[in-house]
Amino acid sequence: MNPTRHVTTLGQSLWLDNLSRSHIHDGTLARLIAEDGVSGVTSNPSIFEKAFASSPYYADDLARLKATEPDAERRYEALAIPDIQAACDLLRPIHEASGGRDGYVSMEVAPRWAYDATRTVAEAQRLAERVDRRNLLIKVPGTPQGLSAFEALTQHGINVNVTLLFSLEQTQATFDAYLRGLAARSAAGGDVRHSKAVASLFLSRVDTLVDKELTAIGTQEALLLRGRTAVAMAKLAYQRYLHRFHGETFAELARQGAAPQFLLWASSGVKNPDYQDLLYVEPLIGRETINTLPDKTLDALREHGRPALRVEEGVAEAQALFDELARLGIDLELVGHTLQRDGVDLFETAYQTLLQQTG
């Protein structure tokens, strides 16, 4: 069996961390869905920046928009939203067959609203109305303000991908916001059966920063810990997921038909060339999880992946690693805060480049 297909039989969804009009026009996305079992797509400003720069399919629309639409942000949306809609349409059969548990496409609220809960809610609602697809996830950052917006959006029935999570504490706060939003929706008489959210935990960037700190410490014991933090964090996050959504905390909402907030492994392409190319894939295969893969990582999984259920293995070792990092003075909560702030800044830079490309 194709290893990518094998992964999906084990209960993990594979989403493509890329979207371009080229992928839609040349049949690449349709082929990945049919042959590899890809069941979702994620996008962000960096992805669209690359798409606009490399795909030939935007030029005519952009020329027309420059003549008719004076606002650069609206020009960007007029280019990106048809791609989002086309991907949603390709994935609609999966969405329907899964009862709304899979088959989603993500589109991000402009990064400049990452610290403004009120504007994030308004922009998320506006984008959801413009895209007008049931299998859309609006991406909202996991900042404190973003989580406040996420809770409100969940209460209003807007489905969300909470992005830019880099720590266990941020992930736990995301789960809590989802539970509060669902409970408020239920208390107001709303239907929670169609509510959907995912929590995108970023991996490779965590290792990049922690490895730098371990290298600075320089002892043999510290150096041996490099390249291990992100996978350990994901395994511990999955244990928190199981506790939150397969225990009494979620039981009543589950009886009403609510879906858990699946963990999504993001930033799963390795950044250190010395690391194995499936470092953030093979150890983290598990039921009720999602891995969003760049094209290169998806190719590697297809070519030489060895899928097996592993996300619940080595949990004690993962906790021991976290304890050792703390003993060495590495503050993983501070790491998460730093990376989240930097992530917002990187997306804002990419977003501004996007607007310049459409100018």
Residues classed as catalytic: 139
Length of the chain: 359
Q: Which of 149, 72, 156, 76 is nearest to 114 (CA)?
A: 149
**8 A C-beta contact, residue 171 and residue 165:** yes
Q: Cα–Cα–Cα angle for 118, 139, 18, nearest 5°?
A: 155
Rounded to 10 degrees, the C-alpha dihedral 120/125/129/132 comes to 90
Rounded-to-integer distance, Cα 268 and Cα 191, Å: 34
Q: Which two tokens stand for residue 231?
A: 């996978």
Distances (CA, A) of 147 to 31, 167, 183: 35, 14, 15
Q: Cα–Cα–Cα angle for 81, 84, 88, nearest 5°?
A: 140
